[in-house]
Amino acid sequence: MNLTVASRADLDGVVTLVNDAYRGSSKQPGWTHEMTLLAGKRVDSASLSAMIEKDRATILVMRDGRDGVGCVALQPVDRVEWYLSMLAVDPDRQADGLGKSIMAGAEKFASERGAQRIKISVINLRASLIAWYERQGYIRTGAVEPFPYEDPTVGRPLRDDLSLITLTKSLQSPAA
């Protein structure tokens, strides 16, 4: 399996993959779903096109042969920090360790382009997902951001107690 930069031709497949992983759109959702927190689509082709337009973000796709089985989005915040979002793995493959492989590939991709740190935001009520990121080396910063309730592109919130927890990971090797 390999991780490659998504092209515009990949976007419809990425939309299906992300919506399946986050919202169980066409498949039984895996453990990473948000169906009890948010309704509606997680992404659509227009939002993904806007993400990659003018190189604001890069979407990486993991393929098993020709099929996309996972993806992640990366966006430079500044010279040293990049923001990682939209990590998704096909629900049928979520027990295969692909999430770890995608994260490692995304971190390498960002590091090769000068990133020294990756930042992520996770919904506060996703304890098992936060714990998974912590096992991957991400550390809670203590920052909590309000959930974007007014943003229709995130779906329709089903609860009024959502917020976003910020975690970061240093990509620099510890000094020997």
CATH code, domain with 31 = 3.40.630.30
How many other C-beta atoms can be found within 10 angstroms of the C-beta atom of residue 44? 16
Domain count, the chain: 1
pLDDT of 24: 78
pLDDT tier at 176 (50, 70, 90 boundaries)? very low
How many whole angstroms separate alpha carbon 76 and alpha carbon 31?
Answer: 28
Kindly state whether residue 58 falls inside one of the protein's structural domains: yes
Please compute the mean of the pLDDT values over residues 100-104 and round it to a whole number.
95
How many whole angstroms separate alpha carbon 125 and alpha carbon 104?
Answer: 25
For residue 70, which of 43, 97, 45, 51 has the smallest C-alpha distance? 97
Distances (CA, A) of 101 to 96, 104, 169, 176: 10, 5, 16, 25
pLDDT exceeds 80 at position 17: yes
pLDDT tier at 26 (50, 70, 90 boundaries)? low
Kindly state whether residue 154 falls inside one of the protein's structural domains: no
Kindly state whether residue 170 falls inside one of the protein's structural domains: no
Q: Which domain holds residue 19?
A: 2-120
Please compute the mean of the pLDDT values over residues 128-145 and round it to a whole number.
96
Q: What is the pTM of this model?
A: 0.92
